[in-house]
Amino acid sequence: MATRMKLKLKTVFVMYFMVSLMGLIYALMQLGQRCDCTEHITVKDRTISRLQEELHRLKDVIKNSEATRRPPKQPARGPTPTVFVITPTYARLVQKAELTRLSQTFLHVPQLHWIVVEDSPQKTPLVSDLLKKSGLIYTHLHVPTAKDQKLQEGDPNWLKPRGVQQRNEGLRWLREDRRAEAGADNYGVVYFADDDNTYSLQVFEEMRSTQRVSVWPVGLVGGMKYERPVVEGGKVVRFHTGWRPNRPFPMDMAGFAVSLKLVLANPDACFDGNAPMGFLESSFLQGLVTIDELEPKADNCTKVLVWHTRTEKPKMKREEAMQAQGLGSDPALEV
C-alpha cells in the first residue's frame, strides 16, 4: 500500500516535471522564432489610438461636468457686482445671537459688504467685537433713533416703523463712500436685511444681477404664508398680499434689492419715518422705479428664498428672581 502510494507520487512528480519542461522548451522556441511583427504593431497601434480616443472622451466628460457643477459665472461683462447689505440693529437680549446667525450666513456669500447700523448714540463693544471677529468685509455705523420716532414701552411693533434712520444712514454712507471711490464702476446692489429674518444663499445670487430694482417673494409675512409679486409674461402685474394691495409697492423690505447705480443716481431717495403704516417700502421705491420696471427674480417670483421670521423674546422671570436674591448671572459675561 505504502509503496504504491510512493510510486504514484513519483509518477505525478515526473509528469509535472515533463509538462514543465515541455512548456519551457516551447517558450524558448517561440523566442527564437521570427514572428509576423507588422500584425502585432498594427494591433498595438489600434489599441493605442482607441485608448487615446477614450481619454479625449473622458476629458470632455470631465470638462462638461465641471461646467455644470460650477455656479453660473457672470458673463464676461466685468467684475462680479458687490452686494451691499444694510442691517439696522439695536441692543436687546437676542442681539448677539441674531447677528451671529446672520454673519455666518453672509460668510457663505461671495462679494458681500455688510453695513451694520446700530440704533445707539455710540458704537457698542458687543457689535464692534462681533464684526471684528466675523471675517466679513463690513462698515460699522450708528445713529440713535430720534425720541419722537421711537417706540415706547408697551407700544405695538407696528405703531412706528423701526430702523428708518439706520437704513437712511446706511444709504448716506454708501452715497458718500462710493462717490469718493474715484473711477469706481459702481457695480453693486443694495439690500436691506433685518437681523432676525432667514436668508437662503440663493437670494443673494438672484439679486446680484439687478439692473434697477429686483423683486421676489417673502415667506411668513403680513399674516400670510407668503407675499409676492405676481408675474405674467415676465412682468410684475400685481401683488399677492393680504393687506392693502393698492399701496404703491405692497412689498416687505426683504423682498427687493436696488442697484447701487440707481441709489447713487437718486441721492434724495430714502425711507420716510412718517410714512403711514405699511408705506415705508413705498416711500423709498416710489421715486426710483415703476411697477412695470420691476425685475422679477426667483423663477418669476415662484420661489420663497427669504423668510420674515421673528425670534421670540426670551423670558427672564427666573433671572429676575435670582437677581433679587443677589444670585443673578454675571453681567460681565456677554450673551
Ligand X SMILES: *[C@@H]1O[C@H](CO)[C@@H](O)[C@H](O)[C@H]1NC(C)=O
DSSP for residue 186: -
CB-count exposure of residue 153 (10 Å: 0-12, 13-18, 19+): exposed
272 is in an annotated binding site: no
Name the residue nearer to ligand X (CB basis): 200 or 300.
300
Q: Is 36 annotated as a binding residue?
A: no
Q: 234 or 331: whose CB is closer to ligand X?
A: 234
Whichever of 300 and 311 has its CB closer to ligand X, that residue is 300
Residues in touch with ligand X (CB under 6 A)? 233-234, 299-300
Nearest distance from residue 67's CB to ligand X, in Å? 20
Known catalytic membership, residue 54: no
Given 3-state DSSP classes, what are the helix, strand and coil percentages for the chain, each rounded to the nearest 5?
A: 40, 15, 40
**What is the b/e burial string over 157-193, where b = at least 16 CB atoms within 10 angstroms of the residue's CB?**
eeebbbbbbbbbbbbbbbbeebeeeeeeebbbbbbbb
Q: How far apart are CA 198 and CA 202, in angstroms?
A: 12
| CA dihedral sign, ordered 132, 138, 139, 144 | negative
Q: Annotated binding residue at 196?
A: yes
CB of 66 to ligand X, least distance (A): 24
- Write the single-letter amino acid at 266: N
Q: 308 among the known binding-site residues?
A: yes
Name the residue nearer to ligand X (CB basis): 159 or 237. Answer: 237
Least Å from the CB of residue 234 to ligand X: 4
Question: Minimum CB separation from ligand X for residue 224, in Å?
Answer: 23
Catalytic residue among 169, 227, 281, 295: 281
- Ligand-binding annotation for 88, yes or no, is yes
What is the spatial distance between Cα 162 and Cα 164, in angstroms, rounded to a whole number? 6
Q: Partners of 238 in the beta sheet?
A: 230
Q: How far is the CB of 299 from ligand X (least distance, A)?
A: 5
Q: Which CB sits closer to ligand X, 181 or 299?
A: 299
What secondary structure, in 3-state letters, does 266-292 show?
CCCCCCCCCCCCCCHHHHHHCCCCCHH
Q: Which residues are annotated as a binding site?
A: 88-90, 119, 162, 167, 194-196, 308-310
Q: Which residues are catalytic?
A: 281
Q: Which residues are annotated as a binding site for UDP-alpha-D-glucuronate?
A: 88-90, 119, 162, 167, 194-196, 308-310
